[in-house]
Structure 1
């Protein structure tokens, strides 16, 4: 029971409990009703300091209801996901991160119970369990984003995710193929995918952008493709057409003159007819799928003579991925003298700086970049070497 004697103040009140400790009481800024402080203090001076700080927070609009953070974290995270408006693939990744790495630790508790100490312990536990550093960094970013929203909603005063460098992915550098290696793979891959390999290296489009590419998006005369859509392949196997992941992804991209000939031959033999026809399709005329293409790519790597495993730091030998062709093309473009902004344009990358995101690069410079790539191809292929005819083999008759 409290001592009947209390100290009246201009703001709030202080009373001494039978235990000898001091309790504060102040008007709730939202309801006006009196509320007790969340803790007691060993001295009256400590209690007066606490009241002074609360009063200052209220006047500055910084006061946070101590009861607000009692919301279940799992439910709050579910609501957060629904309200993000994330693309399907991104939503799948975030749901997986929450289910596998965040919910087991924080799901049943409250938002307020996610403290800085618990975040540090959680992250250390993931690393000790040999979860990949990139996955741990991604999980940390998702948790941090959820808790930033909790701060904005007034549920907690400060984000407990404050580990310096924890959000950064220290991923191993992906391999870069030489021009000779790109052509070595293109020579042995199934003919219908030859142009896909060359375009991936020298136009640097994403696999999903190739899958959504239509004849009307290809200008063979100018040597340009226009990216307007991308195909997402969900974990369920469902395919979905969407706009690229950012406004920067909707773009024209120039490619070298020798690849124009390759793409023209590809369209003649393998592309769907009509302006809306797909440029790249599967072997039976179906949609191009990353999951089905994987075996085709791996087989071609093994046949090509290219060192298809590359030691990547401490991760050991890893197979070269189709996506590494995009990295190869970006590196090659940089070697031609392309600026950072020009590289961002070709790759369809956006930036946090809105001025750069919406500033378009001149098409003439992109054509020069493609021309530089063409010179690199010519140098690597050699003018005196016997060259393979660019015309691919016609498809085998149906049922063969």
Structure 2
């Protein structure tokens, strides 16, 4: 024990910190983006605190328990989400080792189901036009713009008039709206901030949209009838989702990404 203390490797066997207690403490000390903070908190609450593993003493957990926990979570989570969850637990235990609350991490050699991703199939020109036609008049330009510029949903909703350079035929993608937020934030990675070409069909569409539906005071191009920006869930699920069902594109289609 004295040797471990001198080497800085001593672990207090009487410490009763539980997995979920340390997980929350770990999450509170991380400098995460707001969206990541919400996601991490949700994973800890739903898939750690609500499971037997969460109430276990941090230092008492063994690899077989982690494997059993992962197998149980695999029943309710997609393979990619499960991998993120196990990666989160691995990071939590790595921090616990550094804090000398455990001697070693039990999150080792966890067997997980293979994560298969469907091939992304872009919409054809005709499919983009059909989808735009199925949208309410106020939202048709959003389909053409997203398809023509290859924007993520948050980038589309945050697009401003000042981001569009009609003279140079380019668009600066510098902002996004995160889910459940109407506040502009920088994209997640520096590479996401980019300049993309402005196709003529998108330029014409934006001109027509601006004439019919003026931008908001802050320059937001696409606004609701109350002159405010759209939220992810309202536009993506209610408006866009309804148009997809109406237009009836193939099930293999995931999102419009080609310029008409």
Q: Provide TM-score, normalisation by structure 1.
A: 0.58
Which residue of 112, 120, 141 corresponds with 2:59?
112
Deviation at 1:280, TM superposition (A): 0.8
Deviations 1:28-59 (A, max 9, x none): 453x6xxxxxxxxxxxxxxxxxxxxxxxxx4x
Superposition RMSD on alpha carbons, in Å?
A: 2.7
Would the aligned equivalents of 1:228 and 1:251 in 2 still touch at CA under 8 Å?
Answer: yes
Deviation at 1:257, TM superposition (A): 2.4
Deviation at 1:174, TM superposition (A): 4.5
Aligned: 1:287 with 2:229: yes
> For the residues of structure 2 that align with 1:162 and 1:190, how far apart are their CA atoms?
51
Tell me, what secondary structure is at the counterpart of 1:266?
helix
Find the counterpart in structure 1 of residue 45 from structure 2. Answer: 99
Find the counterpart in structure 1 of residue 240 from structure 2. Answer: 297
Write out aligned runs for 1:146-161 (5 A). 146-161=92-107
Would the aligned equivalents of 2:166 and 2:203 in 1 still touch at CA under 8 Å?
Answer: yes
Tell me, what secondary structure is at the counterpart of 1:288?
coil
Which residue of 68, 78, 87 corresponds with 2:24?
78
Deviation at 1:304, TM superposition (A): 2.6
Aligned: 1:254 with 2:197: yes
Find the counterpart in structure 2 of residue 197 from structure 1. Answer: 143
Which residue of 57, 67, 81 corresponds with 2:13?
67
Deviation at 1:180, TM superposition (A): 1.9
Find the counterpart in structure 2 of residue 181 from structure 1. Answer: 127
Would the aligned equivalents of 1:77 and 1:146 in 2 still touch at CA under 8 Å?
Answer: yes
Deviation at 1:278, TM superposition (A): 0.8
Unaligned runs of 5+ in 1: 1-25, 33-57, 311-319, 330-372, 378-400
Change (3 A) 1:165 1:248: farther
Change (3 A) 1:130 1:75: closer
Q: Provide TM-score, normalisation by structure 2.
A: 0.85
> For the residues of structure 2 that align with 1:165 and 1:269, how far apart are their CA atoms?
56
Tell me, what secondary structure is at the counterpart of 2:172?
strand
Deviation at 1:66, TM superposition (A): 5.1
Aligned: 1:306 with 2:249: yes
Deviation at 1:120, TM superposition (A): 0.7
Change (3 A) 1:76 1:288: same
Unaligned runs of 5+ in 2: none
> For the residues of structure 1 that align with 2:165 and 2:125, how far apart are their CA atoms?
24
Q: Is the radius of gyration larger for structure 1 or structure 2?
A: 1
Write out aligned runs for 1:22-61 (5 A). 27-30=2-5, 58=7
Question: Which one has more relative contact order, counting CA pairs under 8 Å at least 6 apart?
Answer: 2
Deviation at 1:70, TM superposition (A): 4.5
Change (3 A) 1:64 1:264: farther
| Equivalenced residues, count | 258
> For the residues of structure 2 that align with 1:250 and 1:68, how far apart are their CA atoms?
50
Change (3 A) 1:173 1:148: farther
> For the residues of structure 1 that align with 2:201 and 2:152, how far apart are their CA atoms?
20
